Structure 1
Amino acid sequence: MAAERLGIAETIPAYLNPKLKNEDLLKGVNFASGGSGYDPLTAKLVKVVSLSDQLKNFQEYKNKLKVIVGEEKANFLVKNSLYLVVASSNDIAHTYTARSIKYNKTSYADYLADSASKFVSALYGLGARRIGVFSAVPVGCVPAARTLRGKLKRRCSEKLNEVARNFNAKISPTLEALGKELPDSRVVLIDVYDTLNDMIENPKNYGFEVSNRGCCGTGLVEVILD
């Protein structure tokens, strides 16, 4: 959606798409792997591409750009591109439970914020300068969390939402400080927690009738781990 609003393309293709063309590389690509997170354990649990491997893919992408347009133009494209980082939801929804022996709600949020900061710094080190980091969402209100943790009435899991809020409270000043430390950078937090929470609590205000079930299957869980 962001790429479409910016007039770049209707969608940004996945970098690992085997049918990717040179013109796609010049417009921009998506390195994301659904289900990954700041916590390295998250990618292992859901068997997806970790953030560290996504950084390796980004480096490979840069090398391909240099072959296509030359080093100077490639560096220009990398420096002036917009980078959106969306993570933390699966860390909180899935991995937090596995980490609960070592971390509590506050310390795990601190761990995620520190990991996010290190990831942004690594991204900067590879040439990124305009970086937008999305906040955690009300993870405790997604259908699976309601079904597995919300008992018969499928209420939101306040425990998971508290971890999300703790992460947001920590990551905001962390990114602000990071933006001041990294020369020629623009690092911002894109806070969507309150907006999404209001949509969940007042769905009719946004044109929705139901906000406690998913759109596909039973709408209760629809999560599969191979």
Structure 2
Amino acid sequence: MLGVPSPPPFLDSSTTGQNMLNGINYASASGGILDDSGRHFGDRHSMSRQIQNFERTLNQYRTMMNATTLNQFLAKSIVIVVTGNNDYINNYLLPGFYGTSRNYTAPQFANLLLNTFARQLLALQSLGLRRFFLAGIGPLGCIPNQRARGLAPSGRCVDSVNQMVGTYNGGLRSLVEQLNRDHSDSIFVYGNTYNVFGDILNHPTAYGKILS
């Protein structure tokens, strides 16, 4: 819809030179805001490591364009960040692997994520990026991973998990408002992923035959 091809993954060997100029996908399965999230799956790139990867990309860009052109290029770029899911399903909600649910209440954990995420976003902004789309977390209590735990009646979502997500999303909306107030040279937009997927779950026939 943006009129550009899907960006290549950062670790693809062909992601060099001109192939980088329409964007790069830094996403990593099971990676999260916290470095520890998803560690039981093995190697993955957390949000902090993805920022380091972006800095490596910047070094390549500097060989391709002068500083003024690069700054203009970065200022016009759109940063799409979809993260936080794994910090719950592959960290907080796995007490057998991680101690976070014993060390933090759900609101405290949401604050930990948001404070860490805010620092990461400001690190990206300090590198010259100015346009950010920040997706909230969807209704994780409705995914098979959580429903299979038997913590909700058959066919129902796990309300306690969705309440955790709601706390985080509310904090993210507030963070976006604060970032826009404090950084007038940048644009931060909140994506209400929760309501999007909630509408799909509540009105599946509106989304085609596959979902109905």
TM-score with structure 2 setting the length: 0.90
Q: 1:166 maps to which residue?
A: 167
On the 8 A contact 1:39/1:115 being kept in 2, the answer is yes
On the 8 A contact 2:38/2:86 being kept in 1, the answer is no
Which range moved further: 202-211 or 173-182?
Answer: 202-211
Distance 1:208 1:120 in 2: 39
2:118 matched to 1:122?
no
2:90 matched to 1:94?
yes
1:28 corresponds to which of 1, 23, 27: 23
Using the TM superposition, give the Cα deviation of residue 67 of structure 1 relative to its aligned residue in structure 2, in angstroms.
0.4
On the 8 A contact 1:87/1:136 being kept in 2, the answer is yes
On the 8 A contact 2:152/2:158 being kept in 1, the answer is no
- Paired residues, number: 206
2:75 matched to 1:74?
no
On the 8 A contact 1:147/1:154 being kept in 2, the answer is no
Which range moved further: 27-36 or 68-77?
Answer: 68-77
Which range moved further: 165-174 or 14-23?
Answer: 14-23
1:37-72 Cα distance to aligned partner (Å, 9 max, x none): 112211433331111111111111111011012322
2:43 matched to 1:42?
no
Distance 2:38 2:129 in 1: 23
Over 3 Å counting, the alpha-carbon distance change for 1:128 and 1:103 in structure 2 is same
Residue type of the partner of 2:17?
N
1:96-143 Cα distance to aligned partner (Å, 9 max, x none): 133110112221122212222111111111111001100011011111
TM-score with structure 1 setting the length: 0.84
Residue type of the partner of 1:61?
T
Distance 1:210 1:25 in 2: 35
User: Unpaired segments of 5 or more residues in structure 2?
Assistant: none
Q: Secondary structure at the match of 1:162?
A: helix
On the 8 A contact 2:38/2:91 being kept in 1, the answer is no
Q: 1:207 maps to which residue?
A: 208
Q: Secondary structure at the match of 2:156?
A: coil
2:192 matched to 1:191?
yes
Identity across the alignment (%): 26
